[in-house]
Chain A
Amino acid sequence: MAQVTLKNIKKSFGPTEVIKGVDLDIQQGEFVVFVGPSGCGKSTMLRMISGLEDVSAGQIGIDGRDVTHVSPSKRDLAMVFQSYALFPHLTVAENIGFGLKLHKTPKAEINRRVEEVAKTLQLEALLDRTPRQLSGGQRQRVAIGRSIIRNPKVFLFDEPLSNLDAALRGKMRLEIARLHKELKDVTMIYVTHDQVEAMTLADRIVVFNQGRIEQVGTPMELYHTPANPFVAGFIGAPAMNFLPAEMLSEQQVRLGETVLDLPQSSALSGAVTLGIRPEHIEVSDGGEIMATLDLMEKLGSETLLHLTTPFSDSPLTARVDGAVELTEGQTLRLKFNPNAVHIFAASEVRPAMTA
C-alpha cells in the first residue's frame, strides 16, 4: 500500500494556478525527490503534504487515511526547513526535544531519546549550546535531529542543503543518504533544485515543471529514457545538447551532412530535435560531424568542450577525458554514440531549455 497518495492535487493563489493537477503514489520507505526549476511548484507541493498550505482541490492520503483537511500536527510527519528553523532561545537539546516536551513526554524519557539522537548525528558535545553558536552544518544536523526524534512516518525536506557551502553540502548529502539507510521504513520526500542531490539521493525522482509532473522514475530511468526534452535537459550535468535534425526513415536521422543510424526505430518523421548528452560525444578521427572548439573548461579528470557546429545556432557541449590535448579554435571531428541519441518532436523543445 502506498504511504503517501496524492490525487489530482491543485493549488491556486488567487487567479494564479501553481499546481495544476498532480497524481502520485509514494511507497513506504521510499526516498522520493521532487526536482524542478524555481517556481515549478515543488515546494508548494511539499507544503501541501505537510499541511502548512491548504489544497485548492484534490486529496492527500497518508497511510491510507485522508488527511486533506487534517491539521499539520496530526499528520505524523516531520519537516526540515531550508532555513533550519531552529528556536534561537533554546539549547540544542531543548530544540531536539521540543516536540516530545509538547507531547508531555516524561523528562527522563526525553533526555534518553535526545541523547540517542545526538549520538546518531554526532551532536553529543553540542547539546548545551544555542543555535547561534553552531556552524551551518551543525544547525542542519540539529534540525534533522528534531525531526527524527519523534519517529514520524514521513520526513519532508525542503531544500535542506541549499544554505550550505559546496563542500559541506556534499558531506551532508552523504549523511542524509546514510540516515535513510538506517531508518529503513521511513518515507522521505525531498525537495531540491539541485539535480545532483536528486540523482544521488533518490529512489525515485519526480520532475516538476510549471505545476505539473513531467516524469516520475528512478534516477537512471530519467537519465537514460527521459520522457521529454524538459526532463532530458534537466537531469544530467552539463545539460543534454539539443540539435535540429531530420528523420530520413524510421531508423535514420540526418544531422547537417551526417546521417546517423538509430538502434531503435522512432515514430517521428520530418523535422525533429536530436538530443545527446555531452558524455556521449566522442572526439575521434573517424567522426563525421565537424565542429569548432570555442572554449575549454578543464576540470582535471575531465574537460568540457564548448563547440559550434555549422548546422545549428545552439552551442554544443562535449565531455572528454582530461588527458586529451586540444587547442581552442581547432576544428574537431565528433562521433555521437548512436545508442545514446534521443529523438524528440521539434515542437517540444522550447528555447529556454537549450540555453
Chain B
Amino acid sequence: MADLSSGAIPRRFNPWPVTIFTVLFILAVLFLTPTIGVLLSSVKTTRAIALGDLWSWPDRLYLGNYAEVFSNPAVHRYFLNTLIVTLPATLASTALGVLAGYTFAKLPFRGSNLLFLVVIAGMFFPPQVILVPLFRLFNSMGLIDTLWPIFLVHTALGIPICTLLMRNFFATVPNALREAAILEGANEWQVLTRVVLPLSLPALAVLATLQFTWIWNDFLWPLIFTQSDEKRTIMVGIVNLRGQYTVAWGVQGALSLIASLPTLLIFLYFQRFFIKGMTMGAVKG
C-alpha cells in the first residue's frame, strides 16, 4: 500500500470534475449577473445611474431608494395585495392537489387514469390561449379590477402540477399503511391526515414553495385583471413605480430586491425538504 501512496503509479488526469465545475461556475455567474446589476443600481442615486454606467461600483452607499420604497404607501398596498392573493391561492391549489392526488394514487376508479391524464394535460395549455376568454368571463361577472380573478386563475392553473406531484408522491407510500390504518378504524380522511400527509411533508413543502414562488412572481394575470393602483400586486407595482417623466431605476431596483425576499425566505426555510423531496423515492428507506 505504501508504494501506491508514494506516487509510484502516476495518477491519470481526470478532466471531468474541472469541466463540470467551470460550466457550473459560468452558469451561476450568468444567473446572478442581472441580480448584481439590480443590486448595484439600487444603492446609487438616480443621478449617478444616469451619469455612470450600470456596472460601476458606487462611490458611496446610498440607501435613499430603499427608504423611498419603504415609506411609499403604494408599496405597502402592493405587498398586501400580493399576500392576499398568494397565500390563499397556494393553500387552495395545494389542498386541491392533495385531495385529487390522493384519489388518483390510492382510490382508483374506472377511468381514473384517463381523468388523471386530462387533468395533467391542463399543464400544457399556454395561458395566453385562455387569456381573452377569461377576461371576458370575469368582466361579465364584474370581477375585473378585484383580486378574485387572480386567486381563482392561480388556484385552477395550479391544480395540474399539484395533482401530478402529490399523486406521484402518494403512490410511493405503501398501500399496506393505508390498509393497516383502515383496519385500525380510520376512515379515508383520517388515513390522509394522520398517515399519508405526515409522511408527505417534504413533497408538500416543495410543492408549496413552488406554488408560492410562481404566484408571488406572476406578472401576466395581475396585469390583465387589475387596473387601478389599489389592486396591483408587487410585480406589476414595480413597473408602476417609474415617475411620470423619468425612470426611477434605483427605486425600482430596490423594490425588485425587496419583492424577491419573501420567496427567497420561503425557499431557505424549506430547502432541507427540497433536497430530500427531490431525491425522495430514488432509494428505499
Chain A residues within 8 Å of B, Cβ to Cβ: 50, 52, 71-73, 77-79, 81-83, 85-89, 98-99, 102-103, 132, 146, 150
Give the chain B neighbours of A79 by CB distance below 8 A: 179-180, 183
State whether B199 touches A73 (Cβ < 8 A): no
Decide: B174 and A83 in contact? CB cutoff 8 A: yes
Contacts of B174 in A (CB 8 A): 83, 85
Question: Across the interface, do B183 and A88 meet the contact criterion of CB distance under 8 Å?
Answer: no
* Inter-subunit contact A83/B176 (CB<8 Å): yes
Give B185-203 interface residues, CB cut-off 8 Å to A.
185-187, 190, 194-195, 198-199
A86 to B184, CA, bound (A): 12
The answer to whether A85 touches B199, judged by C-beta atoms less than 8 angstroms apart, is no
Q: Is the CB of B179 within 8 A of A102?
A: no
Chain B interface (Cβ within 8 Å of chain A)? 174, 176-177, 179-187, 190, 194-195, 198-199, 285
Main DSSP-derived SS at the B contact region: helix
**Which of A50, A83, A87, A132 is within 8 Å of B195, CB to CB?**
A87
Nearest 7 A-B pairs (CB), nearest first?
A: A99-B184, A85-B180, A85-B176, A73-B185, A89-B198, A102-B185, A81-B176
CA distance A50 to B198 in the complex (A): 26
Which of chain A's residues has its CB closest to B195's CB?
A87
C-alpha spacing A78/B179, complex, angstroms: 11
Which residue on B lies nearest to A73, using beta carbons? B185
A residues in contact with B195, CB < 8 Å: 87
Q: List 27 A-B contacts (CB under 8 A).
A: A52-B179, A52-B182, A71-B182, A72-B179, A73-B186, A73-B187, A78-B184, A79-B179, A81-B176, A81-B180, A83-B176, A85-B174, A85-B177, A85-B179, A87-B177, A87-B180, A87-B181, A87-B195, A87-B199, A98-B184, A99-B184, A102-B186, A102-B190, A102-B194, A132-B285, A146-B180, A150-B184
Contact of A102 among B176, B184, B198, B199 (CB under 8 A): B184
Q: Given the complex of chains A and B, what is the CA–CA distance between A77 and B180 in angstroms?
A: 11
Q: Return A310 CB to nearest CB of chain B, in Å.
A: 52
Residues of B within 8 A of A87 (CB): 177, 180-181, 195, 199
A102 to B180, CA, bound (A): 13
Query: Knowing A87-B195, A89-B199 touch, does A73 contact B184 (C-beta < 8 A)?
Result: yes
Q: Known A50-B183, A72-B182, A102-B190; judge A88-B199 contact (CB<8 A).
A: yes
Cβ contacts under 8 Å, A83 to chain B: 174, 176
Contact of A73 among B183, B198, B285 (CB under 8 A): B183
Chain B residues with CB below 8 A from A52, complex form: 179, 182-183
| Bound: A89/B198 CA distance, A | 7
CB distance from A47 to the nearest CB of B (A): 8
Residues of A within 8 A of B176 (CB): 81-83, 85
Set of chain B residues within 8 Å of A88, measured between Cβ atoms? 199
B8 → chain A, closest Cβ, in Å? Answer: 45
Contacts of A132 in B (CB 8 A): 285
Cβ-defined contact, A99 with B182, below 8 A: no
Q: How far is the CB of B135 from chain A (nearest CB, A)?
A: 46
C-alpha gap A73/B184 in the complex (Å):
6
Q: How far is the CB of B21 from chain A (nearest CB, A)?
A: 36
Instruction: Quote the shortest CB–CB distance from A89 to chain B (angstroms).
Output: 5
Nearest-neighbour CB distance to chain B for A14, whole angstroms, equals 12
CB distance from B29 to the nearest CB of A (A): 42
A56–B187 Cα gap in the complex (Å)? 23
- Most chain A Cβ neighbours within 10 Å, of B180, B181, B186: B180
Contacts of B186 in A (CB 8 A): 73, 102
With A89-B198, A89-B199, A102-B190 as contacts: A73 and B182 at CB distance below 8 Å: yes
Q: With a CB–CB cut-off of 8 A, which chain A residues contact B194?
A: 102
B187 CB to closest chain A CB, in angstroms? 7
In the complex, A81 Cα to B184 Cα: how many Å? Answer: 13
CB distance from A113 to the nearest CB of B (A): 14
Shortest beta-carbon distance from B173 to chain A in Å: 10
Residues of B within 8 A of A71 (CB): 182
Q: Nearest Cβ in chain A — how far from B126, in angstroms?
A: 40
Give the nearest-CB partner of A75 in chain B.
B183
Of A52, A77, A82, the most chain B CB neighbours within 10 A belong to: A52
Residue in chain A with minimal CB distance to B178? A85
Most buried by B among A50, A86, A99, A132: A99
How many angstroms between the C-alpha atoms of A72 and B188 in the bound complex? 12
CB distance from B100 to the nearest CB of A (A): 23
The answer on a CB contact under 8 Å between A98 and B181 is: yes
- Which residues on the B side are within 8 Å of A81 (C-beta)? 176, 179-180
- Report the minimal beta-carbon distance from A192 to chain B, rounded to whole angstroms: 17
**A39: shortest Cβ distance to chain B, in Å?**
19
Residues from chain A with a CB closer than 8 A to the CB of B185 are 73, 99, 102-103
